[in-house]
Structure 1
Amino acid sequence: MKETDPSAEAGKGRVPLWLDPEDLRWLADHCCCPANASDADKDRCGRLRFRASAALHKHGQPR
C-alpha cells in the first residue's frame, strides 16, 4: 500500500478530513442516493464510501 503524500493531495486541491471510526463505518456502509440519482452522484457516493472503508482498513479498524 502506498502512503498518502499530503503535499501531493494538497496539490490536487484536496483537504484532510478527520472522522471518528464510527462515523467512517457509517459512511462506508450507507448510500443515501435516491432511486433516481444521476450516475455522477452514484459515482461520487461510491468514491466516498470506498475512501471511508480504506481509511478504516489503513488504520487497522474493523468495518
Structure 2
Amino acid sequence: MKETDPSEEAAEGRVPLWLDPDDLRWLSGHCCCPADASDEEKDRCGRLRFRAGAALHKHGHSR
C-alpha cells in the first residue's frame, strides 16, 4: 500500500478531512442518490464511499 503524500494530495487540490470512525462507517455504506441520479452523481457517491472504506481499512478499523 502506498502511503498518502500530503504534498501530492494538495497538488491535486484535495484537502484533509478527519472524521470519526463511526461517521466513516456510515458514509462507506450509505448512498443518498435518488432513483433518477445521473451517472456522474452515482460515480461521485461511489468514490466517496470507497474512500471512506479505504480510510477505515488503512487505520485498522472494520466496516
Query: What are the ranges of 5 or more consecutive residues in structure 2 without an aligned counterpart?
Result: none
**Is 1:5 matched up with 2:25?**
no
Structure 1 counterpart of 2:18: 18
Query: What are the ranges of 5 or more consecutive residues in structure 1 without an aligned counterpart?
Result: none
Matched residues, number: 63
Measured after TM superposition, the shift of residue 19 of structure 1 is 0.1
Counterpart residue identity of residue 61, structure 1 = H
Measured after TM superposition, the shift of residue 53 of structure 1 is 0.1
| TM-score of the superposed pair, with normalisation by structure 1 | 0.99
Runs of 4+ in 1 over 2 A off after TM superposition: none
RMSD of aligned Cα (Å): 0.3
Structure 1 counterpart of 2:35: 35
| Distance in 2 (alpha carbons) for counterparts of 1:29 and 1:11 | 29
| TM-score of the superposed pair, with normalisation by structure 2 | 0.99
Counterpart residue identity of residue 56, structure 1 = L
